[in-house]
Amino acid sequence: MASLIVLKPGVDWTAAGGLFDWTLEFLTSRLSDRQAASHLQEIIDNNLGSLWIDDFPAATQREIVSHWRNGLVTAGKQQLPETEHKVHVIRHLQELVDATYAAGFPETHDPG
């Protein structure tokens, strides 16, 4: 089943459920907004299959984007299993990062 992350209307990213969950799990331990992290975990636990970034306060949106831009692809390279599809999966994660720019999120710095 495909899952969806909406960065803004008209700019979204779809992924298989497992990669979608992994992408949210990447954030849950990193977010300083624990309520947002809990919401992400709820999406994962209940197989809700969609995330709208604008459901979060602006500061949390910026933090989510910053984590994706500064660590998602690297984490994917390090953590995802070595399969014949990994290169395509990493490219797909990069497409999410690229979409954060297409959505107009400002430049971010490593959140730490």
Structural tokens at position 79 = 């953590």
Return the bridge partners of 16, or none: 2
Q: What are the 10-residue block averages of pLDDT along the chain, 112 residues in total?
A: 93 95 97 97 96 96 96 97 96 98 83 54
CA–CA dist 77, 56 (Å, integer): 28
Return the bridge partners of 57, or none: none
pLDDT value at residue 17: 87
Residue 50 lies in a domain: yes
Residue 110 lies in a domain: no
pLDDT value at residue 59: 95
Residue 76 lies in a domain: yes
CA 16 to chain centre: 13
- Report pTM: 0.92
Residue 60 lies in a domain: yes
How is 75-100 classified by DSSP, letter by letter?
Answer: HHHHHS---TTHHHHHHHHHHHHHHH
How is 26-89 classified by DSSP, letter by letter?
Answer: HHHTT-S-HHHHHHHHHHHHTT--EEEGGGS-HHHHHHHHHHIIIIIHHHHHHHS---TTHHHH
Residue 111 lies in a domain: no
pLDDT value at residue 94: 98
Total structural domains within the chain = 1
Residue 30 lies in a domain: yes
Residue 38 lies in a domain: yes
